[in-house]
Amino acid sequence: MKKALISIILILTVTLIGCGCNDINNEYDGHYNYITDCQLAKAALLQPFAKCNVTKCETGYYALASKILYYIEGSTMQATPLCNKPNCMHNDESCNAYVGVVDDIFYSDGYIYYMESAGVDHEFEGSSFMKMSADGSQKEEVLYTEYSPDDWIVHKGKLYYCVKKYLVDDNTGLDDINYADCYIYSYPTDKSSDVNEVYFAEEIEKNAQISSLTAYGDNLYFHLYGMKRYNDKIEVVKSLKLNLSDSTVTETVSPSGEQISGPMYLDGMLIFSSGEEEDGKHLYYKTDFDGNNPEKFISTYDGENIICDGKYLYVDNYIALNLANHIENDDSVNKKERYIKVYDSDLNKVDEFSLGSDSAKTWSILPVDDKVFMFCGKNNDGEFIFYYDKSEFGSLNGTVWDKEFAYQSK
């Protein structure tokens, strides 16, 4: 309890002192600001094995573990439920830190955002975007929508979200879930103006979906999938960039015109994956911060995944291990090592480490920022949040990197 109060006082103090000061945020490099921009630490980055919801604030992090929101103080890395209710057990809906079943949390400029689905008796009744004050004492609905957004982010004071509006079947008068119009809308988080349509996917209709929404600077990036409108034999798969200043939409492609997807942010540039191969390895491209001037960057073996934290790039083989474990329960597969190689933005190798224990083999850990990797989960003792300290880079040399606990319920 004491810890919680101290954390809250700390947050309040820093929030008050820190209002409008960019210098708290030492990651800001002129392109990208953790505090106001769409955060890198997005669980969707790790799909299909995402198991972590962490978002970064000026003084530390917020993490979601089993429906309870925790504040992790950045210098001590100790987590406490974001709740100052006396005698609260922090384990049910009466707890201030309770946010229910949500997919993602985003910290932005003093608030933690999340999306709740409203419903009674499992009947879907729309979605509410919520914001919680940094100390957890206040919750407020930002926006209610009757739809179920497929993806959403908070970027530079605005909420951006993708929705599917199903077409109505002429015969039955009911929604036809195979056909939809897809939109991206924006809404200011201070509610100062109306919902605005920023994009309509005119090209697709059957099985239509917009996904992988992210934003850097003035650009919104997303994926388009579906069958072509008026000709549903033709598949449309595109990675698009919408410039928020002039509303132009361009397809992001490799120099040879092939589709590429992403992006991830790394030290002033954007990294895109591609379906192209070179010497049997998968090719990644880098572009400038606006997604222009693509060049070959790095290539990886099958089953290796690339993630970035803004400063470092990681080559991680957890996908290979996950797939191998799903396909066969073979001892030779289970003995394979989980390794993660660390590179800087010039592709100099910084370090390499293993995650050691069997249970860590297939975990997707979130790169968060240049200070910590994080993971939230549940073991026999209950919920836990652990982290790896990146200040140890340079000394790991392929050895097992020991995790440290920010929280373990008892």
Task: Supply the Cα-derived Rg of the chain in whole angstroms.
Answer: 22
Binding region for Zn ion (CB under 5 A) out of 2-10, 33-41, 85-93, 177-185: 85-93
Q: What does the H/E/C string look like for 190-237?
A: CCCCCCEEEEECCCEEEEEEEEEEEEECCEEEEEEEEEECCCCCCEEE
Residue of 88, 319, 323, 360 that binds Zn ion (CB under 5 A): 88
Rounded least distance, CB 280 to Zn ion, Å: 53
Whole-angstrom Cα distance, residue 362 to residue 381? 20
Binding region for Zn ion (CB under 5 A) out of 80-88, 140-148, 204-212, 309-317: 80-88
Binding region for Zn ion (CB under 5 A) out of 9-17, 93-101, 109-117, 386-394: 93-101
Rounded least distance, CB 366 to Zn ion, Å: 24
3-state helix, strand, coil split of the chain in percent (to 5) is 10, 50, 40
Residue of 90, 238, 241, 286 that binds Zn ion (CB under 5 A): 90
Binding region for Zn ion (CB under 5 A) out of 82-90, 100-108, 211-219, 346-354: 82-90
Report the residue number, 90 or 238, with the smaller CB distance to Zn ion. Answer: 90
Binding region for Zn ion (CB under 5 A) out of 78-86, 345-353, 358-366, 383-391: 78-86
Is the alpha carbon torsion for 49, 53, 56, 61 positive or negative? negative
Rounded least distance, CB 105 to Zn ion, Å: 17
Report the residue number, 83 or 182, with the smaller CB distance to Zn ion. Answer: 83
Residue of 69, 72, 82, 83 that binds Zn ion (CB under 5 A): 83
Rounded least distance, CB 81 to Zn ion, Å: 5
**Residue 247 Cα to chain centre, angstroms:** 24
Report the residue number, 85 or 336, with the smaller CB distance to Zn ion. Answer: 85
Rounded least distance, CB 341 to Zn ion, Å: 41
Report the residue number, 99 or 396, with the smaller CB distance to Zn ion. Answer: 99
Contact 39, 28 (CB under 8 A): no
Binding region for Zn ion (CB under 5 A) out of 87-95, 153-161, 188-196, 210-218: 87-95
Residue of 40, 63, 64, 95 that binds Zn ion (CB under 5 A): 95
Q: How many CB atoms lie within 10 A of CB 339?
A: 16
Q: Is 365 in the site for Zn ion (CB under 5 A)?
A: no
Report the residue number, 42 or 90, with the smaller CB distance to Zn ion. Answer: 90
Euclidean distance between the first and the last CA atom of the chain, given in angstroms as a whole number? 15
Report the residue number, 91 or 259, with the smaller CB distance to Zn ion. Answer: 91
Report the residue number, 51 or 85, with the smaller CB distance to Zn ion. Answer: 85
Whole-angstrom Cα distance, residue 145 to residue 127? 5
Instruction: Look at phi and psi of residue 268 and say left if phi exceeds 0, alpha if psi is from -120 to 50, else beta.
Output: left
In sequence order, what are the residues at sequence separation of 6 or more whose Cβ sits closer than 8 angstroms to the Cβ of residue 338? 316, 317, 318, 321, 354, 355, 360, 361, 362
Contact 238, 251 (CB under 8 A): yes
Report the residue number, 90 or 206, with the smaller CB distance to Zn ion. Answer: 90
Strand 175-188, strand 269-278: pairing: unpaired
Rounded least distance, CB 94 to Zn ion, Å: 7
Contact 390, 344 (CB under 8 A): no
Rounded least distance, CB 241 to Zn ion, Å: 42
Report the residue number, 24 or 88, with the smaller CB distance to Zn ion. Answer: 88
Strand 158-168, strand 105-108: pairing: unpaired
Binding site for Zn ion (CB under 5 A): 83, 85, 88, 90, 95
